[in-house]
Amino acid sequence: MKPSINTTLPITHCCPACGLLCDDLVLNSTSPVIIKNACVKSVSFFEKAFAESTCKPSVAGKPTDLNSAIQAAANILNKASYPLFAGLGTEVQGMRSIMRLAEKTSATLDHMHSEGTVRNTLAMQNSGWQTTTLTEIKNRADVILAIGTDIVSSYPRFFEKLVLNTDTLFTRPKPEVIYLGLAEEAVKLPEIMNTLNALMNAKNPLNKKPDNDIIGGVTIASLKLILEKLKAAKYGVVVWSASALKFPQAELTVQSITQLISKLNESNRVAGLPLNSGDGDSSVNNTSTWLSGYPTRNRFVNGHPEYDAYHFSTKRQLVSSDALLWVSTFNAYLPPDSEAPTIVIGHPDMQFEKQPDVFIPVGIPGVDHVGTMFRMDSSVAMPLKKLRETELPSLSDVICQIEAKLS
């Protein structure tokens, strides 16, 4: 079946391909799909979404009708005592339904990108932080320190929209952008961040080191210069990518970043911007938090929510769970290998090497049905529009029907 394109196109649209949730895209019904404000991520997202794809559910690799697939999924969950709901590539409405199903089946919940999210959450739960949001950056930021990220690979339009913009509420110079710890240099960030914090204290002996001494691959002079620029900023912004900090106890490095921001704020205004990883991670985390009191990684035991950012990871739970429900609606990401019976609900373009026990293709939020998503700064939730008519059910439709078949 080829979904029919909505005839009201061209349409101004919100793009869920990255955490910026740009809502100024203009889409057309013919190729090229995006005719205005495109970026490499949005083009890829909409082209995949509009590609012809199989929309048939399957059980054990054999095509079947939706009802049979839903029954098969319910059968697996009925038998399971410790199901794991992972992936969770969805938006608010989808997550609401997943939370209800998790409560009824005593499931554990973890998002596919939670490695990075958890580093931030742990740092925030340990000491808190001082942060800002996109519109503040667009109008105020005069110095941007990017830690462990070039930003643009994850958010293609970040600079176009927030740094190179000429319209600003307040006169500011073109923001200066400083990068620290890119790519393989990221492993040196613990040392670099600790040094920056130490240099904030005038009495610290590090201040007496020769300027050309090198710590973490950077000269003392450069580190001092970074601090000087941040101290002189009218509104400095420190951006970091927790997902780039791929080393043990990386939450301590996040904390080191937030500690520096906090210290700088004693005299001038500097704020942080933690980046997210996409696939609805911010939406899922927020929804889980207001519904259960906890962010993900959490679980329900007989209706009561529990939280453990360490033990409830997908990796650990795959060892003990007796069913896996994998959800990925924005991208055709495949589930991890599991011994347990596996249900996959997601993007119609999924191509499996190993067929899951149940596969139910569902609509893509912001393409096949409306939805609500949190932007990467978590302060703004955006409405997603529907672009086309399709036979694909939404994730929440499918989850509700599975819920109805639970014994």
Partner 1 sequence: MITLLKNGRIYDPTSGKDGVVQDIYIKNGRIIAKPSASEKITQTYDLTGKVVMAGAIDMHSHIGGGKVNIARMMLPEYQETKKYTEPEAHICTPSCSHNATPSATDTGFRYIEMGYTAAFEPALMPVNARQTHLEMADTPMIDKGGYAMLGNDDYFLRMLTAKKDQKAINDYVAWILNATQSIGIKVVNPGGINAFKFNQRRLDLDENNSHYQVTPREILKSLSTAVHQLGIAKPLHVHCNNLGAAGNFQTTLDTMSASDGVPMHLTHIQFHSYGTEGDKKFSSAAAQISEALNKNKHITADVGQILFGQTVTASGDNMMQQLNAKHANPKKSVIMDIECDAGCGVVPFRYKDQNYVNALQWAIGLEIFLSVEDPWRIFLTTDHPNGAPFTSYPHLIRLLMDKTFRNEAFAKLNLDAQAMSNLTSLDREYSLYDIAIMTRAGAANLIGLNDRGHLGVGAGADITIYTDQADREAMFAKPDYVFKDGELVVKDGKVVKVVWGATHTAKPAFDIAVEKDLKDYFDKYHTMQLDSFKINDDEISNDGRGSIIVHENKKVSH
Given the rule CB under 8 A, which residues bind partner 1? 12, 14, 20-21, 23-24, 92, 96, 121, 124-136, 138-140, 161-162, 167-170, 234-235, 265, 268-269, 271, 285-287, 289-295, 305, 307, 372, 374, 378-383
Return the number of the residue (12 or 67) whose C-beta is nearest partner 1: 12
Return the number of the residue (106 or 379) whose C-beta is nearest partner 1: 379
Tell me how far, at minimum, the Cβ of 210 lies from partner 1, in Å.
Answer: 33
Return the number of the residue (29 or 130) whose C-beta is nearest partner 1: 130
Tell me how far, at minimum, the Cβ of 377 lies from partner 1, in Å.
Answer: 8
Tell me how far, at minimum, the Cβ of 309 lies from partner 1, in Å.
Answer: 9
Tell me how far, at minimum, the Cβ of 360 lies from partner 1, in Å.
Answer: 22
Give the pair of three-digit tokens for residue 247.
């080393």
Return the number of the residue (222 or 286) whose C-beta is nearest partner 1: 286
- CA 360 – CA 335 distance, rounded (Å): 13
Tell me how far, at minimum, the Cβ of 139 lies from partner 1, in Å.
Answer: 6
Look up tokens 């709901």; give the residue.
85
Return the number of the residue (375 or 388) whose C-beta is nearest partner 1: 375
C-alpha dist (Å) from residue 268 to 23, 230, 232, 233, 265:
33, 9, 8, 7, 5
Q: Which residues, 6+ apart, have CB-to-CB distance to 325 below 8 Å?
A: 73, 77, 83, 84, 85, 86, 107, 342, 343, 345
Return the number of the residue (88 or 334) whose C-beta is nearest partner 1: 88
Give the pair of three-digit tokens for residue 70.
């839903």
- CA 290 – CA 235 distance, rounded (Å): 31
Q: What sign results for the dihedral spanned by CA atoms 214, 220, 222, 223?
A: positive
Tell me how far, at minimum, the Cβ of 155 lies from partner 1, in Å.
Answer: 12
Q: What sign results for the dihedral spanned by CA atoms 43, 44, 46, 52?
A: positive
Give the pair of three-digit tokens for residue 82.
């410790």
Are 331 and 351 in contact, with CB atoms under 8 Å apart? no
Tell me how far, at minimum, the Cβ of 85 lies from partner 1, in Å.
Answer: 18
Are 318 and 310 in contact, with CB atoms under 8 Å apart? no
- CA 318 – CA 323 distance, rounded (Å): 9
120 closest CA partner among 258, 234, 228: 258
Return the number of the residue (209 or 385) whose C-beta is nearest partner 1: 385
